[in-house]
Chain A
């Protein structure tokens, strides 16, 4: 059972355009929502993250929008560049005993055409 649903599976955007990746979750216990960026041949790296007490977080060209009532969050990449071409994973985290459980989306492959 996929607890974090990510869409689209792949995305092609022209240079300078806006890339939008969406994620939806079901478990209201999730309280931390990170986005990871992965380049070919590399491990994922944390890009940006948000907690549900805010509706938006911006870091440079990357913005997370969070809708708690709809249980959805999205990543917006403004002025997309060819160097942004990568796979993006959303995730959701909740406390589990003395640890935390991290549930991953299936990933979105982004290609930015020059």
Chain B
């Protein structure tokens, strides 16, 4: 069972570059989420989606964009990368109303230099 798959696992970007973090889930979950995790700061919600075609901002959406064209995929786009976006990014999905039980991917470690 693949669950939630994130690619790439590691990436180094230069300031001003752009990239897309990929996330796909094979559990037919309607709800998907993007979090960033910084040391000692817990998990911060960037964007979430309640179904294909529907996305909404979380706590820290600035500098990011998302799309949800299919139930399975929820890519996160970084435009004009900045050092403040250096973090570990986690994608998660859920099949219940909201986020009763989240299934997380293994994360993408991103460094912006």
Which chain A residues have a beta carbon within 8 Å of chain B's beta carbons?
9, 32, 34, 36, 41-46, 49, 89, 93, 95-96, 98-102, 104-107
In the bound complex, residues from chain B placing their C-beta under 8 Å from that of A9 are: 40
- Residues in B with CB closer than 8 Å to A107 are 40, 42
Residue in chain A with minimal CB distance to B91: A43
CB distance from B19 to the nearest CB of A (A): 20
CB nearest to A36 among chain B residues: B102
Interface string of B76-103 (1 = CB under 8 A from A): 0000000000000010100001111110
Contact assessment for B106 and A41 in the assembled complex, using a CB-CB cutoff below 8 Å:
yes
Task: Give chain A's interface secondary structure class.
Answer: strand
With A43-B106, A98-B50 as given contacts, are A89 and B43 in contact (CB-CB < 8 Å)?
yes
Determine the chain A residues whose CB is within 8 A of the CB of B48 once the complex forms: 99
Interface centre among A41, A43, A95, A105, by most chain B C-beta atoms within 10 angstroms, is A43
- Taking a contact as CB atoms under 8 Å apart, the answer to whether B107 and A93 are in contact is no
Whether B104 is near chain A, meaning CB under 8 Å from some CB there, is yes
Check if B41 is an interface residue, CB within 8 A of chain A.
yes
Q: Which partner residue on chain A sits nearest B58 by CB separation?
A: A101
B residues at A contact (CB < 8 Å): 4, 31, 40-43, 45, 48, 50, 90, 92, 97-102, 104-107
Interface residue from A32, A42, A101 paired with B106 (Cβ < 8 Å): A42
Q: Give A87 Cβ to nearest chain B Cβ, in Å.
A: 10
Chain B, residue nearest A46 (CB): B101
User: Which of B42, B45, B92 touches A106 (beta carbons < 8 Å)?
Assistant: B42
Q: Is the CB of A104 within 8 A of B42?
A: yes
Given A43-B92, A89-B43, A106-B42: A99 in contact with B107 (beta carbons within 8 A) = no
Q: Lowest 8 A-B CB distances belong to which pairs?
A: A100-B98, A43-B104, A106-B42, A104-B42, A104-B43, A99-B98, A102-B99, A43-B90
Q: Which B residues touch A100, using CB under 8 A?
A: 97-100
Residues of A close to B106: CB separation below 8 A: 41-43
CA distance A32 to B41 in the complex (A): 21
B100 touches A32 (CB 8 A): yes
